[in-house]
Structure 1
């Protein structure tokens, strides 16, 4: 049951973070309630990790990310997502989620930087020119640094990390 809750949680966060760069509080609250109900009324074989470990995971997830938020380098939704993730994984599982999510976020950041760079702009202009010649299609150039200002959907990448943790067998 917890695997289904986690999969639905990840799907919702991936969608909202990529589409809107938001981590809805309603999704977080509903997930916490669903985890509580699953632990209280679900099969006895599921509470691994135990409740104490899950609560410690929540606390660790929250406290580890708070300094980054305080420095203005991360949104509050990312922190809340990571804390709720700790309820699924306990503190040890957070390492896998963080590593996978951070590597994906790094790749995203590098692609955004490359896209904003001169090499990417030259190729974009070249292909736009070819498209105009081929069919009279007008391809406007992207506004400079738009993607950089929008931020990285870090919670979505952490959600992928949670899915990887689940697939790897915890």
Structure 2
């Protein structure tokens, strides 16, 4: 496995943890990995004689352009958009469509569950509703749950960057281990 997919997996692990925990994507990590990727691509092209990294550069531009309208509409955070652009730089433009499809299916399933849960809860027997409310109170009282809520600083929503990270790791694993079967 070359350097760029390894960087993508490492970045994906950091982004998934950060997005699930605090609903944040670190600009510092994105910038550092992006700079290493650009340096590595330019070095491979200029020194080692590899082909011009046009698909990687196009991947960054397409990744940014594809999700930017969703940020402009307020449906997505800026970190999600920047992370997708860095993934395009790391893995090239052909990787973006399968990663986007899988992550969108995961996020759509999550959103569907969030939207359906309140209406399903009212159809449960009263005893089950009471047990659910009691369990919810006990769960919210736990210190680590309060710490997670404090770290999110009121940010709510679907952790789309985490779903992009899961899809990225799956894409790389399938390309490395599953495609040869």
Residue 151 of structure 2: aligned partner:
none
Conservation of the 8 A alpha-carbon contact between 2:4 and 2:91: no
The list of structure 1 runs, each at least 4 consecutive aligned residues, that deviate by more than 6 angstroms after superposition, is none
Conservation of the 8 A alpha-carbon contact between 1:128 and 1:139: no
Cα distance in 1 for residues equivalent to 2:132 and 2:122: 15
Secondary structure of the 1:72 match is coil
Residue 147 of structure 2: aligned partner:
none
Instruction: Provide the TM-score with structure 1 as the length reference.
Output: 0.78
Q: How does 1:14-163 map to 2 (within 5 A)?
A: 14-40=16-42, 51-117=53-119, 119-121=120-122, 123=124, 126-127=127-128, 129=130, 138-140=134-136, 150-163=156-169
How large is the RMSD of aligned CA atoms in angstroms? Answer: 3.1
Instruction: Provide the TM-score with structure 2 as the length reference.
Output: 0.74
Q: What stretches of structure 1 of length at least 5 have no aligned partner?
A: 133-137, 144-148
Conservation of the 8 A alpha-carbon contact between 1:69 and 1:76: yes
Give the Å deviation of 1:3.
2.3
Larger RCO, structures 1/2 (Cα 8 Å, 6+ apart): 2
